[in-house]
Amino acid sequence: MAESQAANTSDGAQPHRFGEMAVALSYVTPEQLARALKRQDELRAGGARSRLGETMVIMKLLDEEKVRKVLGEQRRLRLYEANQKLPVEQFGEYKLVRRIGEGGMGTVYEARDVLKGNSVALKVLRKGLGVDKSYVHRFSREISAAERLEHPNIVVTLGCGTMKGIQYLAMEYVDGETFKTTIELDKQVEEKKALRVALDVARALQHAHKLGLVHRDVKPENVLITKEGVAKLADLGLSKSVYGDSQLTQTGEIVGSPNYISPEQAKGQREPDPRSDWYSLGATLYHALTGKQPFAAASPLDAMMLHIKGKLANPKELNPKLSAAAVLIVAKLMAKEAGERYQSAAEVIEDLEAALKGEAPKNAALAAGRSTVENGSGASALTAQTTGTEPPQGKGCLGVLLFGLGLVAALFAR
């Protein structure tokens, strides 16, 4: 941690923000930082989504190598702080037991509710982060149970509080593993097991969307699997509550994982859209079924660009055992345009249930070339691969769609 200690600001405080860190590392002067912040404000006022690092590159104050070093140093600082002993051992009625893991917003501990005697998971937020009032309200005891996010497939948030200036969230403790671990252990998750997890998550999202909440960060790390094999979606609404509508944090880091992000989120769309969650569920399912994380080799920024414009290999090429139904569902979930994805949770659930029974998905029709998933993007293209027929050329979207629909029906009628 020598580098980070050397990177203290002049008043001795640790530099958490990108700009402060760049100054602390003597890459820019405070005066240059002030100019860059002013320029960034101007760019943002003009509607550009400019990160401070990028602005500094444009202004030739930093090169990309130095931007990476600043970001790396920030990460190191965060890890260092997470490993420091906390100044408190008990947060309200919750007594810390052990550290479980580390995420983008802070550290998660197993804690014991000293009043009730049960275990809870305590997310201790990083300095400078805080959840907004509407999020706290959602879990307050005054609101009706119907409004509250209580669902068997959602990790229930029990409450939030502040202790010695440190904000924490108490959540239901899930004794099990994250879906990320399952994928790492299984390499390629068996189809039915993966579809059952997706179905649990779809039910969780159905409940959240009904209450007007978009998750914005669906990914394998946020899906916890109990010992009984039930999937529970964690951190619902948390990223919005902490970071607001922007997809970027104040330090210019991306909210959510760039490997599972929807194209519209990658483009910086501020208006939350429940269909973004369907895309991220598709990317999660793609990872589970193929063992390949979407756009894993790309840098975070490139991964975001690739979700907007790039293609992923057809899942069947990576895992020949996959059913046509599973591939169609992933392709439909990962349609580039939100308007061409599933339009409701009920449609997603119906198709996942059908696939689990070995039946054809009814709502997965999609014109060729419209998904992030290569060839699997259109029923026509997929079928063409399995039957050796060429997909129709130059028929226009509707023609391709109708052709695709016919072929899906034909494929599953066999």
Which positions are catalytic? 217
State the angle between helix axes of 191-210 and 324-333 in degrees (0 to 180), rounded to the nearest 10: 30
Q: Is 235 in the site for ligand ATP (CB under 6 A)?
A: yes
The token pair that represents 265 in the structure block: 């989120």
x-marked contacts with Mg ion along 97-126 as a string, rule CB under 5 A: ------x-----------------------
The distance of Cα 29 from the centroid of its chain, to the nearest Å, equals 35
Strand order in the sheet with 166-172: 90-91, 94-102, 106-113, 119-125, 166-172, 157-163
x-marked contacts with ligand ATP along 145-184 as a string, rule CB under 6 A: ----------x---------------xxxx---x------
Q: Which is nearer to ligand ATP, 216 or 336 (by Cβ)? A: 216
Q: Select from 32, 69, 103, 344 the one that contacts ligand ATP (CB under 6 A).
A: 103
Instruction: Determine the Cα–Cα distance for residues 258 and 262; give it in Å rounded to an integer.
Output: 9
Q: Is 264 in the site for Mg ion (CB under 5 A)?
A: no
Residues with Cβ < 8 Å from 55, sequence gap 6 or more? 36, 39, 40, 43
Number of residues that bind ligand ATP (CB under 6 A): 21
Phi, psi at 387, each rounded to 5°? -105, -15
3 state SS of 155: coil
Chain position whose Cβ is nearest to Mg ion? 235
Question: Which amino acid is present at 402?
Answer: L
Minimum CB–partner distance for residue 100 and ligand ATP (Å)? 4
Which residue has 């479980």 as its token pair? 100
E strand map for 210-266: 223-226, 231-233
Minimum CB–partner distance for residue 45 and Mg ion (Å)? 33
Instruction: Determine the Cα–Cα distance for residues 290 and 314; give it in Å rounded to an integer.
Output: 9
Q: Which is nearer to Mg ion, 104 or 378 (by Cβ)? A: 104
CB 197 within 8 A of CB 231: yes
Show contacts with ligand ATP in window 200-229 (CB under 6 A). 217, 221-222, 224
Q: Select from 235, 277, 347, 351 the one that contacts Mg ion (CB under 5 A).
A: 235
Q: Which is nearer to Mg ion, 235 or 264 (by Cβ)? A: 235
Minimum CB–partner distance for residue 3 and ligand ATP (Å)? 24
Instruction: Point out which span in 100-108, 137-145, 205-213, 314-322 binds ligand ATP (CB under 6 A).
Output: 100-108
Contact set with Mg ion (CB under 5 A): 103, 222, 235
- Would you tell me which residues interact with ligand ATP (CB under 6 A)? 100-105, 108, 121, 123, 155, 171-174, 178, 217, 221-222, 224, 234-235
